[in-house]
Structure 1
Amino acid sequence: MGGRRKFIKHSFLSALAGVPLAAQAGSLELSRKKSPSGQRFTPQILSTWNHGMPANDKAWEVLNGGGTLLDAVEQGVMVTENDLSNLSVGLQGLPDREGIVTLDASIMKGDGSCGSVAFVRQVKHPISLARKVMEKTPHVMLVGEGARLFAAAEGMPMEEEKLSPKAREAYLRWKKNSKYQPIINIENHDTIGMVGIDENGAMAGSCTTSGLAYKMHGRVGDSPIIGAGLFVDEEVGAATATGLGEEVIRICGAFLIVELMRQGRTPQEACEEAVKRAVAKSKDLDNTQIGFLALNKEGDFGAYAIRPGFNFAQHHRQGKALIDSQSWFK
């Protein structure tokens, strides 16, 4: 799949060339370094995976251009929703076992305001629909046909329901055996989650995905569930998750990390404890990968995964980096 890495195997990315710092233009120096936390940056944007780099570029541009942090985390992940090469986010993503693409997304502010959508069809930008749920309805979550009708009523871009060429090719290969337990890899669980803090200490986050490839029709993962795939409390911090959603839901992963930070854990320590609990609760550890990403109100960050291979993108005033997370299994 064009240079994408297997989700549960060691791999590496090509070295990334540095570019000079130009703070007034909003450009940043690109570096590569190992996690974990220990350095604090405010403002700061973090997002999961290597596709987080262009997503962060857009979020940083919005923030530097006078947009709110909420605008930044929304527009940042929209880049990934639009990325036709990405088979796990957006309408071009891999379908369920019936050959239908359904999308999940959530967005949250540090004051507790939040919105999400799940099992949505045809909506080009589910993250924007999640924001509309937050801002224009008395609800937190809309699903299925109700969410699609709300999007249509709001005049949101809708697309004809058909598989992208790459997704169709992959689906037809899968149908030859039609195994309902797909291999867990980066193409299959490559959610983008983004969290950030601005110079005033406001925090926000977003999460969007096309979900588990070849899932049962109607399956919903952790990404649209507030407290599982995403949680933000600007009195404490923010966290997001990627990986096998069922395992994240079982431990309320993002909420757990924020609460651990509330109790005094660093973001790194909180992510490590969440992985420890996920490992203990896993129903199928051999086929499970989860990656957690966290940021606290001081601008300290952390990340941890069950297996090697998870990385995350970081942008701040001093530079930007694609960082390899540490993991439970070495």
Structure 2
Amino acid sequence: MSMNALLRHRLFWPVAVLAALLLVNLLLTRGFYNIEIKDGHLYGSLIDILRFGAPLIMVSLGMTLVIATGGIDLSVGSVVAISGALACLMISDLGNQNDTGGVLTAVAVALVLCLVLGAWNGLLVAGFGIQPIVATLILMVAGRGLAQLITDGQITTINSSPYKLIGGGYWLTLPFGIIVVAALLGLTAFLTRRLALGLLIESVGGNAEAGRLSGIRSRGLMITVYAFCGLCAGIAGLMVSSNVSSADGNNAGLWIELDAILAVVIGGTPLTGGRFSLSGTVLGALIIQTLTTTIYSVGVPPETTLLVKALVVTIVCLVQSPAFRAKVFGRRRMPHRAAPPGPPQDVRAETGLVTRDGVGA
């Protein structure tokens, strides 16, 4: 592969940015790459990036498919809060919070509700023709209020070992959240890249009317995609709440929708829809989580953290922009040679001035 082709590859710049962030940590943070095994579990900064980045990867995964249809989902942060709030409320009402059956029931009910909320977003968009940003903004506002109603405006605290496993536990030496993300990512990649589902989603995002005329049931497909996004946000909500063994309806998942959109865009999926990259989304989410970890590791003052993060993300987006790179790093274009006199070939062909052998009559 030539250098120009490598630079044009959609995953080159996300990989380069992630490598640069890891290099900064190598130079500035002592022991950043150290990985230890304690009590049969893997520990280290790299493991922490994966563990704390798992909820963002999960939300970004659902957001990718929504954006691929030409939509957007601003309600995922509220769905994260609702999922954790409902699961923790049901577990807190159990006589024995370590009862596996009761915990599984609470998890299932929370995920079903999130699935329904996602499908509701899809119904508003595909069924009633409401703009995606407006339809999901409704649930973004109402959902945050619903999460606070579930928790009665308080932080619901639980002490459940089975529930703790989802976001804060380990399995096979790895954080359980990473395993859940890997499993769902693999399933999504199989359904969208090995089957025709991914092509159908891209067709809807590229031209919904053309897809409908081709026999694609775009309405049902869009509802399914939004429902899947709600499910992903629900799983992320379980991870966030189980990691701290509590649910905060006001702050859980706050602004995670913006990080998810950034992760999708950094990964190379255009907001206009029509195509998507799951691997790019994962890289984008890891870039954002690594950036957050780096900011805290190097001792950036808390009051400037958001400004530094915004600045770095802006630079990343500019570097990825072909137009920006052409203006800053590109060569001068050579002047075009003047076209020979006479009508162009296609005009001569239409007017019958071209013989069978291609020479003008």
Q: TM-score, normalised by structure 1?
A: 0.31
Q: Which has the higher strand share?
A: 1
Q: With a CA cutoff of 8 Å and minimum separation of 6, indicate the structure with the bigger relative contact order.
A: 2
Q: TM-score, normalised by structure 2?
A: 0.29
Q: Which has the higher helix share?
A: 2
